[in-house]
Structure 1
Amino acid sequence: MSDSTENVVPQVRVEGLGPVRRIVLDRPDRHNAQTPRMWAELAAAGRMLSADPEVCCVVLVGNGASFSSGIDLEEIRRPDGFIRRLAAHPPGDPDPMLAAIAVAQESVRWIPRAPFLVIAAITGAALGAGCQLALACDVRIVADDARFALAEVRHGLLPDLGATAWLPRLVGRERALDLMLTGREFTGTEAVALGLALRAVPAPDVLSTAQEYAEAVGRLPRAIPAYLKTAVDAAGLERSLAAAAEGQAACIRANSALRDG
């Protein structure tokens, strides 16, 4: 992972034009294992697409056999790896380690804030940080035999890329704690049964199913997914109603047939 080629080859690609785009995790030889470079590139892709008023839906997919196998284990093992660098920070107030972790969290922080729908198309492994990246997305289309696990506990760590926020909302507090504390694996079929994924299909059909879903969303006015996400994520009824009202006003103003009729 430390060779000079990887210092210049992007680990994330953005593809497509128009209302539907694709973000591709591009380390197929490592099952799209995540690195600080990948986190930075994911955050940059999110900023770029969020600033583009044409984007209505994004499909997030891994190149190759797996969505993402989690953090690259070399980032744990190597003396100059990310986890070892974190461990080198002395305690302080504020703790200097927290700022470095916050930079990594930018890789997922943009997704719920994005003014478009993000669909994860998941095949193969979605483990640890890969599972958390999938959970950050708005919709998950998964292979029925995909492998999921919040595996951080196997390395004496806990999930800090959003699972603690998104998982309880999807499956409840008790089951979320169980999945994070045990690190147990579950399949795409079980993910649907748990409420963690929208649909499980055979692996060869995952990307086409996600793309079809994205194209349907892409035919909508951008304000609809943007404001629906805001309203659904708002804390409490009054904030949700206010966000829905703002969205409705934006849709009515953008709809010339309603405005001019």
Structure 2
Amino acid sequence: MSVLRVERAGPVARIVLDRPGRHNAQGPQLWSELRAAGAELSADQDVRAVVLLGDGPSFSSGLDLAELEPQGFLHRVAHAPDDRAQELIAEAQQGFGWIARAPFPVVAAVHGVAVGAGLQLALACDVRIVADDATLAVAEVGRGAVPDLGATVDLPRLIGLERALDLILTARSLTGAQAAELGLALRAVPAGTVVAEATAYAETLAAAPRAALAWAKAATREPDRERSLRLAALGQLECVRGMLGVSG
């Protein structure tokens, strides 16, 4: 059975984590399906924004504890040779990694619990709109592990090195309201409105042409100034030619 579903409504698509009975706990199947959904939507020229959310009471409770059992993901990683273990972790990272490269903005609608891998998935998105009473934590270090799905990159980019280290090393929890105050989320809203707010925001973004969205996102996400300016220039050239009907 699939553990997520893809829904389309005009230029805004939705990726819905679909394990509500497990609070959308994660494992290799979910990561694989996320990669496939990202590839499918990236290839669809009609999609100009995506909302990522969790069905049921939570966004995502993080890694499924079943992955610690024999034949589970972490058990396989621990018993694999070093090279294969690194490959397995890299495959998991690809479940989130496509978001940064997607030619459209991805908006996370976060409610309930988003901890560990759940928060890392939200952090991988371009924008986060969170329920004010949500619970968020980079929980891995507190459990004797390392957040290896992107938090070590995304948190410093969002809130600076010192605050990122504080959240990662203490594994402390934040409410959605606190996350917004810290700059980890765009804004916090009442829990019952988070999906509607995220969808409305995505619809606003999707009013722009896909090429403009894609190039602006790529240039803004590029940390190197010269490469960012180069991407902005390339994007501007494509957009201006499109507006004026000039072929490249």
TM-score of Structure 1 vs Structure 2, range by shorter chain = over 0.9
Deviation at 1:210, TM superposition (A): 0.6
Render the CA deviation track for 1:56-103: whole Å, top value 9, x for unaligned.
Answer: 100000001100000011112x11211111111134xxx321001011
Q: Distance in 2 between matches of 1:119 and 1:236?
A: 24
Is the contact between residue 142 and residue 169 of structure 2 (CA under 8 Å) also seen in structure 1? no
- CA 201–17 in structure 1, closer or farther in 2 if over 3 Å, else same: closer
In the alignment of these two chains, the number of paired residues is 246
Partner of 1:79: 70
Deviations 1:15-43 (A, max 9, x none): 01431100000000000000110010001
Match of 1:57 in 2: 49
CA distance in structure 1 between the partners assigned to 2:173 and 2:223 by the alignment: 31
SS of aligned partner of 2:60 = coil
1:44 aligns with 2:60: no
Does residue 185 (structure 1) correspond to residue 173 (structure 2)? The answer is: yes
Q: Secondary structure at the match of 1:111?
A: helix
- Tell me the residue number matched to 2:204: 216
SS at match of 1:121: strand
**What SS does the corresponding residue of 1:148 show, helix, strand or coil?**
strand
How far is the alpha carbon of 1:213 from its aligned partner? 0.6
Residue 58 of structure 2 is matched in structure 1 by 66
Q: Is 2:138 aligned against 1:146? A: no
Distance in 1, Cα, partners of 2:90 & 2:10: 32
Shift of 1:163: 0.5
TM score, norm. by length of structure 2: 0.96
Residue 33 of structure 1 aligns to a residue whose secondary structure is coil
Q: Partner letter of residue 147 of structure 2?
A: P
Distance 2:226 2:91 in 1: 32
Q: 1:107 matched to which residue of 2?
A: 95
Percent identity, aligned pairs only, is 58
SS at match of 1:255: helix
> When the two structures are superposed, what TM-score results if normalisation uses the length of structure 1?
0.91
Unaligned runs of 5+ in 1: 1-8
- Which whole-Å CA distance do the structure 2 matches of 1:124 and 1:234 have between them? 31
SS in 2 for 1:68: coil
Task: Tell me whether 231-240 or 61-70 shows the greater mean CA deviation.
Answer: 231-240
What are the equivalent positions in structure 2 for 1:194-213 lying under 5 Å apart?
194-213=182-201
Report the Cα distance in structure 2 between the residues aligned to 1:89 and 1:223, rounded to whole angstroms: 42
**In the TM superposition, what is the alpha-carbon distance from 1:122 to its structure 2 partner?**
0.4
In the alignment, residue 119 of structure 1 is paired with which amino acid?
V
User: What displacement does 1:237 show?
Assistant: 2.3
3-state SS, counterpart of residue 162 of structure 2: helix
2:109 to 121, 137, 158: 121
Q: Point out the more displaced range, 188-197 or 230-239.
A: 230-239
For 1:103, the aligned partner's letter is E
AA partner of residue 83 (structure 1): L
Give 3-state SS (helix, strand or coil) of 1:22's partner.
Answer: strand
How far apart in 2 are the matches of 1:71 and 1:100?
15
Partner of 1:5: none
Q: 1:131 and 1:176 mapped to 2: Cα distance?
A: 13
Q: What aligned pairs does 1:226-245 form with structure 2 within 5 A after superposition? A: 226-245=214-233
CA RMSD of the aligned region, Å? 1.2
Alignment match of 2:85 (pick from 70, 73, 97): 97
Partner of 2:237: 249
Structure 1: distance between partners of 2:223 and 2:143: 34
Q: Which residue of 1 aligns with 2:26?
A: 34
The residue type equivalent to 2:203 in the other structure is: E
